[in-house]
Structure 1
């Protein structure tokens, strides 16, 4: 059967509070982010593996607090008193970006605001070159999202398919849960690969496709 051309079109990711699944792996992190009145010195670092839902949690908090969300790659001085800076670990060693984040940190907290910073790993492992910024990040309270348990991994798979308007059967989901790696990143790779392969090969989302995709990803 000839293959159909496929394109990596972005899926529509649902980022509302009701779209986020809570399990033991992320419950503490979510609770601490939502209780921003308890953040020491008005700031918090939310850490977790790639695909763990840090962006989702940030959007939930932003919708509740009116926070401005800024990616570390495109920093600008915000006027808001509540601010999220995502993927802070990615600017380590970039002088201008580090200096801008330092000024954002001081400006937001100087006016009594709230600052949520996200990244992979703990701040003391980020090779931040600007000493004043490094000390402020390392002195920020840290909350972490752990690698997923079975309940959370299943929820990640279900949501990933739903964002792409796909509805695999419970048998397919159970098969994936039983045979996939226990990581957020792998779960997202599975969903994207199954979607792309189903379209290009005109196949249905079933267990045979799941098996083939898992085999490909394992190579």
Structure 2
């Protein structure tokens, strides 16, 4: 059985503006990015939990504003020397050697270039041994993606079931919204589990099945 993920932000084919759901949870990030290049600083740390949409937002932004984009340590290592030649760079959520990290950040600060780094927690909370690097990370402006609102959760649930070609009653969606944990990863896990159980048990999604899955995921 093939599982379809609700927040499949690693597939660049899905990075279209029309798929972006604007919400109070991501408004701070979106409003800030919309002001480019009129930013108060060129060092930005975008923070949000796993599956919160950081990569989706940054992929849209980098296409519109021609930012260079690195999303894994392999590409970072391979292109490391080239990164010192670019003026606009996004590092999207991966661990980096502290010495190389410091050298790159120092270069961007010295030459007043744009650097966006995404992470699950603020850069200043990372366990960093290199004191000079810890000092540089304090210069980044922190912008957070918050937990999703009820409206966003409702939209994400509908999108998930639509993507999986499942028809679900409005009252069931509202019931899930009221009960589900307010985190992106929890929402994804629950919906995948609910879909799997519906298929395994050959049952339509109803209150009983929803409650069974809630009980299993607590």
- TM-score bucket (shorter structure): 0.7 to 0.9
Residue 108 of structure 1 and its aligned partner are, at CA, apart by: 4.7
What secondary structure sits across from 1:195 in the alignment? helix
Question: Where does 1:159-178 land on structure 2 (aligned, <5 Å)?
Answer: 159-178=159-178
Matched with 1:45 is 45
Matched with 1:87 is 93
* Contact preservation (8 Å) 1:43, 1:141: yes
* Contact preservation (8 Å) 2:43, 2:139: no
The alignment's C-alpha RMSD in Å is 2.6
Residue 68 of structure 1 and its aligned partner are, at CA, apart by: 3.0
Residue 31 of structure 1 and its aligned partner are, at CA, apart by: 0.9
Q: Distance in 1 between matches of 2:118 and 2:49?
A: 11
Aligned residues: 207
- C-alpha deviations, 1:36-55, integer Å up to 9, x for none? 31334422111122222111
Matched with 1:102 is 102
Matched with 1:123 is 123
Could you tell me which runs of 5 or more consecutive residues in structure 2 were left unpaired when the two chains were aligned.
Answer: none
Q: Distance in 1 between matches of 2:188 and 2:204?
A: 18
Q: Does 1:185 align with 2:185?
A: yes
* Contact preservation (8 Å) 1:36, 1:114: no
Q: Distance in 2 between matches of 1:114 and 1:160?
A: 35
Matched with 1:146 is 146
Question: Where does 1:3-18 land on structure 2 (aligned, <5 Å)?
Answer: 6-8=1-3, 13=9, 14-18=14-18
- C-alpha deviations, 1:150-207, integer Å up to 9, x for none? 1122223233444545443322211110111122221111122123223333333444
Residue 110 of structure 1 and its aligned partner are, at CA, apart by: 5.3
Matched with 1:62 is 62
Q: Does 1:156 align with 2:162?
A: no
What secondary structure sits across from 1:25 in the alignment? coil
Q: TM-score, normalised by structure 2?
A: 0.80
Q: Distance in 2 between matches of 1:199 and 1:68?
A: 42
What secondary structure sits across from 1:38 in the alignment? coil
Could you tell me which runs of 5 or more consecutive residues in structure 1 were left unpaired when the two chains were aligned.
Answer: 1-5
Residue 217 of structure 1 and its aligned partner are, at CA, apart by: 0.5
What secondary structure sits across from 1:116 in the alignment? strand
Q: 1:212 to 1:117 in 2, by over 3 A?
A: same
* Contact preservation (8 Å) 2:106, 2:136: no
Matched with 1:216 is 216
